[in-house]
Structure 1
């Protein structure tokens, strides 16, 4: 099962009529705890809202009682209440699925992360396979008379061998791109809210990958941890129609020549500022 560590809960969930009705049931508080446990189990399974014991085995009510550490009769009462109020769907008698699962998880975003992880693992397997592949035998020169056709075949074999070596070298040097969420967590701030995670995922549809990483690097260099700081840098580049690192470097150089200082520095308070004279043009994205 995919490693998804968060779900979305609305702050006004206890204002819901369904939740208020559940609270009035016998053991209503326990039933609400079971609801939260169902949501987290569905998020952990990351199987489109289904409650799964393993990747291929759905969790039945008896197993829920054990996993959730709640009495079996209470779990059954909870599921009946959830079905009545349209909070879960039960298929084939025991296959439980959270209704309207997209309200609790960014399905498109999670699918994108799942695909990124799959491609990364695939590239890593290819790299290891290339490194472990036996080297082709080297064609040794020999003092024999050969026909033109045989010589051509030997030359072709040598070219194939060279091409294989070039391909192996390329695979070895190529490293899979860093997941932008992981990069942000490892270099700026680990704890991200669901909204912040969605925002970062949205960036991939708005900005080039290398610009997102560069903006995060500049945020980390400035010792700033706000997401809007990074987004401010990206928006600034977008307004200037800068789409490559080379264009950004030229823009930095032009700015430095104009202002007489370096564009990105870190002051004693750990906030990125612009050196030189500050006029109407500046790049202070701090909040």
Structure 2
């Protein structure tokens, strides 16, 4: 799952007159911590400075008091201070808005993350919609295995919903459970995880499934799990980092991953060979 992991903070933040004023208040430190937490929440929401629990459910004072582990009186004092200083806008029965949030953030980068999240959600909904189709609607045209309208019988079955030229709302698509790209490796990553890590949790299963929805084959996910084992780092944080690397480099299949590894091996070998040649060619002055 792609999400916002960082926001920008100015190095001269504490030289700002408003921040300096807040620090001078009796509860200044607590108010300042609340401000920084609001900034991080705005980054997570990635909605141009708006903060909300969900798009339809705004945060309440008591909810924020619970989240920040602060008394409600401190939350109210902080909000009153921020409002007077023009740092936030409180919309009645609506979200909190951080003034000038977009001015100091990398909006282009945040927008890309937001768009990527929308595309991921769209893919998931399409897959769920296809799974809900009655059996008769999943029949392949002309009884030719592995084909969809507009494609020849030789078209690989893995193109399916990942083809950008296919209108999934008006197209009969082949069985999504069939994928022959990774026939040479186990593709049951649930089983592999259970046998080599620990009994998989629902959260871990959903995380791995989200990467499959993004385009990685089950075999590629198994490869990432194997990398974690080979590195002796058997945790989801490491596995997710590997899976993100696969996606970023368009390494969607076992074949692509193995080819990339071989390419790196060749490069390393060439580098070592060149270094050896150069070391032999070098002779200290006077020899």
1:4 matches 2:20: no
Is contact 1:263–1:275 with CA below 8 Å preserved after alignment? Answer: no
Q: Which has the larger radius of gyration?
A: 1
TM-superposition CA deviations, 1:37-81 (whole Å, max 9, x none): 211222233332222123311113333223222222222221222
**How far apart in 2 are the matches of 1:102 and 1:184?**
32
**Which residue number corresponds to residue 56 of structure 2?**
56
What residue is the counterpart of 2:72 in the other structure?
72
Structure 1: unaligned runs, 5 residues or longer: 139-157, 191-203, 212-216, 223-248, 253-261, 267-271, 279-287
Aligned 1:46-195 pairs, distance under 5 A: 46-92=46-92, 95-103=95-103, 105-127=105-127, 130=130, 133=133, 134=135, 160-162=141-143, 165-167=146-148, 169=157, 170-171=159-160, 172=176, 176-177=214-215, 186-187=241-242
Question: What TM-score do you get using the length of structure 1 for normalisation?
Answer: 0.50
Q: Indicate the SS of the match to 2:70.
A: coil
C-alpha deviations, 1:10-49, integer Å up to 9, x for none? 2221121111111111211111011112112222333322
- Deviation at 1:4? 2.9
Superposed CA RMSD = 4.5
Aligned length: 190
Q: What residue is the counterpart of 1:33 in the other structure?
A: 33
Contact 2:58 2:93 in 1 (8 A): no
Tell whether the 8 Å contact from 1:8 to 1:103 is kept in structure 2 after alignment: no
Counterparts in 2 of 1:189 and 1:14: CA distance versus 1, 3 Å: farther
Partners of 1:35 and 1:184 lie apart in 2 by 33
